[in-house]
């Protein structure tokens, strides 16, 4: 009886692993709504905002052969948020704070 249970468990594990390994990877453009929204944001807002800043353009955009660094993201985000300040009234944090159970 123990051998039968072992064989069934091994068979189920093999079926599961074979099923997982045979799925095809998806490209980022096929992943749906969030990916499309992110692509639209990057193209319309992020790049257009950073394109107008001379320091960022000189330092990062002109030199395409270098690799991406975290410092580059920090400097670009600082420029973006300076031009697009966040509104606390419309933020998700404010909306969560207003909820009766979660908020104050």
pLDDT in tens, 15-28: 776 665 555 666 65
pLDDT at 11 over 60: yes
Q: In sequence order, what DSSP letters do the residues of 41-80 get, joined into one string?
A: HIIIIIHHHHHT-HHHIIIIIS-TTSPP-HHHHHHHHHHH
Whole-number mean pLDDT of the chain? Answer: 79
The percent of the chain in helix, strand and coil, each rounded to the nearest 5, is: 70, 0, 30
* Structural contact between residues 26 and 42, judged by C-beta atoms closer than 8 angstroms: no
- At 102 the pLDDT is 65
* Structural contact between residues 40 and 70, judged by C-beta atoms closer than 8 angstroms: no
* pLDDT level of residue 86 (50, 70, 90 thresholds): confident
pLDDT in tens, 45-54: 888 888 888 8
* Structural contact between residues 35 and 43, judged by C-beta atoms closer than 8 angstroms: no
């Amino acid at each position: 009886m123990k051998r039968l249970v072992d064989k069934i468990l091994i068979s189920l594990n093999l079926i599961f692993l074979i099923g997982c390994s045979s799925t095809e990877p998806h490209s980022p453009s096929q992943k749906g709504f969030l990916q499309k929204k992110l692509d639209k944001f990057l193209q319309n807002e992020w790049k257009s905002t950073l394109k107008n800043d001379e320091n960022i353009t000189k330092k990062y955009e002109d030199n395409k052969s270098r690799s991406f660094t975290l410092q580059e993201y920090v400097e670009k985000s600082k420029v973006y948020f300076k031009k697009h300040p966040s509104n606390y009234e419309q933020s998700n944090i404010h909306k969560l704070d207003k909820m009766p159970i979660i908020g104050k």
